[in-house]
Each structure stands twice: as C-alpha cells, then as structure tokens.
Amino acid sequence: MSKSLRCPHCGTEMLFVGKKDFQLGDMRTFDMVRGFPDGPFPMEVYGCPSCRKLEFFSAEPICDDLECPVCHAKYPRTAERCPKCFTKWEK
C-alpha cells in the first residue's frame, strides 16, 4: 500500500520506508495523535531521499467513530466530547 507523495520541503518524490509501531506515550506533543488510545499504533513512514524529511501516516483509519457511553451516539475520535449530550470521552 504505497502512494505517490511529494516532499513538502523540497518537492522530491518520497519513498515508502516501511510500517512501524509507534508508542503514543512518546508522542503526546504531536497534535495528530491527540485522542488516540495508548499503546502501539501502526504508522506508515515515508522519507525524502533528498532532504531526509520523514512523513508519517496512520496505517489505520483515523476517523474511527467513538460511541458515547451515555447516549450511544457515534461521533469522530477527533471530537473532544459527545456532540449530543456533551459527555467527555474518558480514555
């Protein structure tokens, strides 16, 4: 599963480096992983052969819906709280 990707830094075609499990505990500073569960998370890594920039993509769908424990409404993982009853999701 590889895609054609241009380096945002220098425009060179990026190469698929591989799949890697990341420990999210080490990546809390990244906005992109906010709201994800703890534990290893599979990522696809692309690298620029020219400037060595790395790009990371989730190997799993990002918009996995959460189910509200109170009203059972489904809403995207990226939401801070349930859009229906405003219950905050406890991790």
Q: Which residues contact 48 (CB under 8 A, 6 or more apart)?
A: 7, 9, 10, 12, 14, 15, 54, 55
**Member of 6, 34, 42, 50 binding Zn ion (CB under 5 A):** 50
Which one of 32, 39, 42, 51 is in contact with Zn ion (CB under 5 A)? Answer: 51
33 makes contact with Zn ion (CB under 5 A): no
SS3 33: helix
| Contact set with Zn ion (CB under 5 A) | 7, 9-10, 12, 48, 50-51, 53, 68, 70-71, 73, 82, 84-85, 87
